[in-house]
Structure 1
Amino acid sequence: MVLVSAFKDGSAALRANPILLVAGLLVGAGGQLQYLDQVVDSPLVSAGASLGWLIAFPFVLGGFIETARAAIEGTDTSIHQFVTTARTHYVRLLSATVAFLLIILGTAVGVGIVGLVFGIGSMALAAINEMAAFVGGVVSLVVWLVSLLVVIMFVQFYDAAIVIEEQSVTDSFRRSVAIVRSNLTSVVGFSLVWTLLVNLFLVPEYLVQLTVTDAAPAEVLPVDLGIPTTVLLPIGIGLSAVGFAYFYTVYTAYYLRLISDAPLPADAE
């Protein structure tokens, strides 16, 4: 089964190539920059650091995917290879990431407008039947969420298509959609399992994040952990590093298995 094999590939590659954890550490540290103001007490510095990370993330992602592929295929991996690949694909990955965010935002707004129309109708229906109005509101919300998730699922492989198959920004989205359409059942299963496991793995980090919000500890946790932010942030970095390294190696392994069954058409190479 492709799904199970991808998780096995990811585990084997990570054990044989600890260098992947270095890339994971970069992601883990970058992901915690949103909490920098808790340490330096400067929201402006935190916002600037977070923006800088959003710009740098495609660089790290490009280097990681290529390094993960090398690890999975059993070829040499190195920091030099990581940096070289990251630099090669950076512009396309940055452009595609912006396009990806715009696609998701456009879908959210577009479907949301339709949902708003139905919501207004539900409010009018409330005067006649409150239960029907409630059901209508819930259905609108579910349709909005499902539509958003479906779009994400179809375009999720754009980054792998750019790095692994040297696709352009536009073609990377087309390639992702084509692969998902050809492997719909498998991709649905992978997306659900992958997302569930990622979030289960990061539950401790989510608890860490809650403790550094402005909310009182009693409002977000049953007990106050009493751990300072300077200790919590390294915990979050460590969890993100291991989680990113493993799960994105699995993601790369899964894509490699998909394209082995769905090679590029001759005129697209």
Structure 2
Amino acid sequence: MVTVSAFKDGFTALRENPILLVAGLLIGGGSQLQYVDHLIESPLISAGVSLAWLLVFPFVLGGFIGTAQGAIDGTGASLSRFFTAARTHYLRLLLATVLFVLVVLGTAMGLGLVGFVLGIGTMALAAIHEMAAFGAGVGSLLLWLVSILVVIMFVQFYDTAIVIENESVTDAFRRSIGLVRSNLKSVAGFSLAWLVLLNVFFIPDYLLQLTMADTGPADVVPIDPGIPIAVLLPIGIVLSAVGFAYFYTVYTAYYMRLIALSPATPEST
């Protein structure tokens, strides 16, 4: 099974190439930059740091995928490979990431507009049957969320298509959509397993977000863990580093196995 094999490939590559953890640490540390404003209380600096991270992330991502590819296929994983892959694919990854965000936001806003129209009908239904109106509202929300996740699932491999197959920005999205269409059942199962397991590593990060929020953890979950920010922050960085390193290596391994089953056609190369 491709999914199980990809998770095994990820574990083997990470165990034999600890250099992947260094790249993972860059992501783990960078993901915590969202909390800068809580530490320095300067919105301007916080905004600057966040913008800088958005610009740096495609560089790190490209370097990581290129390094993970070398670790998986046995051609070698090193810092020099990391920086070579990062520099080579940075501009395309940056443009593709912006396009990805626009696609997701556009889908969310478009479906949200449809939901707003349906919401008017739900309000009219509430005057007749409140429970039916509640069910319709929940159903609309779930449909909105699932639709967005489906769009993300179809275009998710744009980054690996750029780094591993050297696709252009637009061709990377076409390649991702084509691969998902050809392997829909496999990709759906992998995406679900990958997303659920990845989020397990982010539990400390979620607790940190609740701790810094005005509501507090006890207002969301019945038990307040009582863990100080000074403890949650480094734990979040470490687990984010390990989680990113492992799961994005798995992600790369899965893509490599997927393209072995569905090689690119001459028109897409």
**Distance in 1 (alpha carbons) for counterparts of 2:225 and 2:257:** 45
Structure 1 residues 170-185: aligned runs within 5 Å: 170-185=170-185
Contact 1:211 1:220 (C-alpha < 8 Å) held by counterparts: no
Q: TM-score by structure 1 length?
A: 0.95
Contact 2:6 2:254 (C-alpha < 8 Å) held by counterparts: yes
Deviation at 1:230, TM superposition (A): 3.6
Stretch moving more, 38-47 or 137-146: 38-47
Q: 1:216 to 1:193 in 2, by over 3 A?
A: closer
Structure 1: gaps of 5 or more residues: none
**Distance in 1 (alpha carbons) for counterparts of 2:128 and 2:116:** 19
Map Cα deviations across residues 85-120 of structure 1 (whole Å, 9 max, x no partner): 101100000000000000000100111111111110
Name the aligned partner's letter for residue 19 of structure 2.
I
Q: 1:257 to 1:115 in 2, by over 3 A?
A: same
1:225 equivalent to 2:226? Answer yes
**Distance in 2 (alpha carbons) for counterparts of 1:138 and 1:34:** 31
- Same amino acid, percent of matched pairs: 66
Stretch moving more, 70-79 or 156-165: 70-79
**Distance in 2 (alpha carbons) for counterparts of 1:224 and 1:268:** 51
Give 1:62's aligned residue. 62
Stretch moving more, 205-214 or 250-259: 205-214
Number of equivalenced pairs: 268
Q: Secondary structure at the match of 1:36?
A: helix
Q: TM-score by structure 2 length?
A: 0.95
The runs of at least 4 consecutive aligned structure 1 residues that moved more than 3 Å come to 214-218
Contact 2:162 2:168 (C-alpha < 8 Å) held by counterparts: yes
Structure 1 residues 113-262: aligned runs within 5 Å: 113-216=113-216, 218-220=218-220, 222-223=223-224, 225-227=226-228, 229-262=229-262
Deviation at 1:52, TM superposition (A): 0.8
Stretch moving more, 93-102 or 43-52: 43-52
Q: Secondary structure at the match of 1:154?
A: helix
Name the aligned partner's letter for residue 26 of structure 2.
L
Name the Cα RMSD after superposition: 1.4
Deviation at 1:226, TM superposition (A): 4.8
Structure 2: gaps of 5 or more residues: none
Q: 1:267 to 1:223 in 2, by over 3 A?
A: closer
Stretch moving more, 12-21 or 193-202: 193-202
Stretch moving more, 252-261 or 43-52: 43-52
